[in-house]
Structure 1
């Protein structure tokens, strides 16, 4: 049994309780709350503790920062930088003195560390210094033991004293269920456990092939507090650029403009003052 498996032992099962469907529908109803139009509203005051994502330019599009303990998702097709987004989010937290957990269903631990190292982020040192924990799980194994993992997540976060967590990617977890009702229930319960853990969480998700503003299974965007959309945009001259849009952030005032970004050797940079074309 691996060290990561030890972290998830002795967990308790949390069944889907009566009334959860109503909570799920409440999330649907409030999914796109927020002000209309581009740019910031004139006034926005809040005493909620906030943090920066660590994405240059994108943080400037969120007035005051993202509320702590939010459940966030970054959606996009292959090659849009979702994994880099998540790694950069953790890098910023560690730079600010926070501890972080990275749960990967796609890559092994060594691949994650290598990807971060290529961006100049010393994840291997963070692990040695007990600032970062990386847990690599097989998606099938996770689906089969999701109840125990779900029950143990709050303990894991508390024992490690983590302030930020990334799960890459929730789409692989969703794919483990053929039945839509079962998929919805399991993902709902899992996101609820993340909220219960009291950590600011960033999920990555594949976008729908036909709609960049929807996830592959059309569930996770309704269960999260914030949604970031990464997509390819093509001009009439067939020039292609990467663009980001903040679809929603609960309890935060944010720009609704679509802005270009690039993935460089230093990570993701959003050009807040630029137009896409």
Structure 2
């Protein structure tokens, strides 16, 4: 069966996904701080703009100017995208977002309907642990968020901070069982250098690449060009045995922020 696809905005990732994400699916993007999760979200939403698919970025932690500055450093002018009416950015809290998603008269649901939003990115689901750290309650919260967005028929990209250093997806709330697709970002140490790596761990209703790939992030002034460049699969021990310990790499990244 030929399943419709939508592009991630990253050609090599689309290839890893057998053509792209499935429309209206839920995609979990997990990674340690600094691995590029927000950049992936920008790329996903801006590709939607290129295809005339309005998008919404919901940020729970970033301050507006910090978000705009980070995007500008990669060559994206978010304010010009907002001015076009295709990109929408909402700065809110997990509590307010949950309430808004369940209310047909909220600013969130009105914006989704009035602007025909088709793609949404949440940065990040990790902030829902401010509401509760109980595993069962978190699972209920995640279900409410993801099912609420499914009801709106949106393709959802959900960012989450990952505190593990291996290529698995264990977490409180068991998000991996709820979502349709899981993309993992990791740090590797290869030839004494720290590299970023990506793998697709899960994709419901579709085959996908199961190998680990190195990737880089580079600025570009062309508005719709991919800033993320994924290389060929890592071979042998380079991909499987060079993973840094969680404590070391997380500490190194945070010390530079």
Q: TM-score, normalised by structure 1?
A: 0.75
Q: Is 1:97 matched up with 2:46?
A: no
What is the root-mean-square deviation of aligned Cα atoms in Å?
2.2
Partner of 2:29 in structure 1? 74
Partner of 2:101 in structure 1? 149
Partner of 1:59 in structure 2? 14
Q: Is the alpha carbon distance of 1:240 and 1:180 closer, same or farther for their aligned partners in structure 2, counting shifts above 3 Å?
A: same
Q: Is the 8 A contact 2:25 2:154 kept in 1?
A: yes
Among candidates 122, 133, 151, match of residue 167 of structure 1:
122
Name the CA distance, whole Å, in 1 between partners of 2:137 and 2:19.
Answer: 38
Name the CA distance, whole Å, in 2 between partners of 1:233 and 1:218.
Answer: 26
Q: Is 1:247 matched up with 2:201?
A: yes
Deviation of the 1:144 alpha carbon? 6.0
List alignment gaps of at least 5 residues for structure 1.
1-44
Partner of 2:228 in structure 1? 268
Q: Is the 8 A contact 2:165 2:187 kept in 1?
A: no
Name the CA distance, whole Å, in 2 between partners of 1:60 and 1:181.
Answer: 35
SS at match of 1:271: strand
Q: Is the alpha carbon distance of 1:87 and 1:215 closer, same or farther for their aligned partners in structure 2, counting shifts above 3 Å?
A: farther
Q: Is 1:125 matched up with 2:80?
A: yes
What does the per-residue CA deviation read over 1:197-242, in whole Å, with 9 as the maximum and x for residues that have no partner?
101111100113365522542522221111000001234x544321
Deviation of the 1:72 alpha carbon? 0.5
List alignment gaps of at least 5 residues for structure 2.
221-226, 240-257
Partner of 1:194 in structure 2? 149
Deviation of the 1:103 alpha carbon? 0.3
Q: Is 1:230 matched up with 2:185?
A: yes
Q: Is 1:259 matched up with 2:213?
A: yes
Structure 1 stretch displaced more, 193-202 or 148-157: 148-157
Deviation of the 1:50 alpha carbon? 1.1
Name the CA distance, whole Å, in 2 between partners of 1:245 and 1:210.
Answer: 13
Q: Is the 8 A contact 1:150 1:190 kept in 2?
A: no
Q: TM-score, normalised by structure 2?
A: 0.80
Name the CA distance, whole Å, in 2 between partners of 1:181 and 1:143.
Answer: 17
Q: Higher relative CO (CA 8 A, sep ≥ 6), structure 1 or 2? A: 1
Name the CA distance, whole Å, in 2 between partners of 1:123 and 1:220.
Answer: 30
Deviation of the 1:185 alpha carbon? 1.2
Deviation of the 1:260 alpha carbon? 0.6
Deviation of the 1:62 alpha carbon? 2.0
Q: Is the alpha carbon distance of 1:215 and 1:103 closer, same or farther for their aligned partners in structure 2, counting shifts above 3 Å?
A: farther
SS at match of 1:51: coil
